[in-house]
Amino acid sequence: MKRSSGARLGATAAVSVLSLALITGCSDSGSDDAENTEGSGSSSSSSAPAAKAATSAELEKLLLAQGDVKGYKVASGDDTLPKSKSAVKTDKAECNALAWATAGLAPGDTDANASNSVAEDKAATATAQPEDIADAFDINMTYVGLSSYDGDGAEKALKAVSDGVSACSGGYGLAAGGENSKVTKVAAGQGSGQGDESVAFSQGVDMDGEGTATFQTEVVRKGNTVATFYTVNFASLGSGKAAEVPAAVVEAQIAKLK
């Protein structure tokens, strides 16, 4: 069970998803008090938009829907992800933005947040054969979060993530859902180049003495909206192989943002 909490980096019952072999989505996530409004994005080339932040309801309509990405299944309503930032604690304040982004929560200071999940759709081709049942676990699931900000809040959110990647390179402690996990290292990754700026990073998570699992996250800003993408493959948790954030999912989601 502890392994699942480490894998989700903020989810409290990912094991239920694995045991049922069903792909479900993330719950709507409201955010509480946010810290770390400083940090650095990759390449901010435009000034902060003057538009007001969108509401959570408006963000829900901008999330990817079924049929938006060919070969992927979109789902929502999963109650296993934390609903607020108060449910995700780190032992280093500068690492908060990383943990929040990974949990589908807003990495910056805002109350406007929405999330869901997008997974490879293998169910359509699966049969009752044992090999197909095993293969059903070998699915890349991406948790997508959207958040919106007033003024230059979105740029500050990206900066918080970028600064966190550097400040937390040596790892940090994470508490969520009454369980503790240890992120052993954080490393900068290659962003997709989508949106106005993006930050990508990988995190190594201790699997309770059974090795380290590596997970990829990308955070993209388009205007005053920030999209977070965190991908996990339950079948490869013990292999040390990281599941890549699908480019098709990132591109399709950013294309829907205003």
SS3 per-residue string spanning the chain: CHHHHHHHCCCCCHHHHHHHCCCCCECCCCCCCCCCCCCCCCCCCCCCCCCCCCCHHHHHHHCCCCCCCCCEEEEECCCCCCCCHHHEEECCHHHHHHHHHHCCCCCCCCCEEEEEEEEECCHHHCCCCHHHHHHCCCCEEEEEEEEECCCCHHHHHHHHHHHHHHHCCCCEEEEECCEEEEEEEEEECCCCCCCCEEEEEEEEEECCCCCEEEEEEEEEEECCEEEEEEEEEHHHCCCCCCCCCCHHHHHHHHHHCC
Average pLDDT, the chain: 79
Instruction: Indicate the number of domains in the chain.
Output: 1
Quick one: pLDDT at residue 32?
Answer: 41
Quick one: pLDDT at residue 211?
Answer: 75
Residue 175 lies in domain: 2-256
What integer is the mean pLDDT of 98-115? 94
What integer is the mean pLDDT of 161-168? 98
What integer is the mean pLDDT of 101-126? 87
- pLDDT, tens digit (0-9, with 9 covering 90-100), for 181-224: 899 999 999 989 999 999 999 999 888 777 788 899 999 999 99
- 117/127: higher pLDDT: 117
Is the pLDDT confidence value at 18 over 50? no
- pLDDT, tens digit (0-9, with 9 covering 90-100), for 32-76: 433 333 333 444 444 444 679 999 999 999 999 999 999 999 987
Quick one: pLDDT at residue 130?
Answer: 54
Quick one: pLDDT at residue 148?
Answer: 97
pTM: 0.78
- 137/18: higher pLDDT: 137
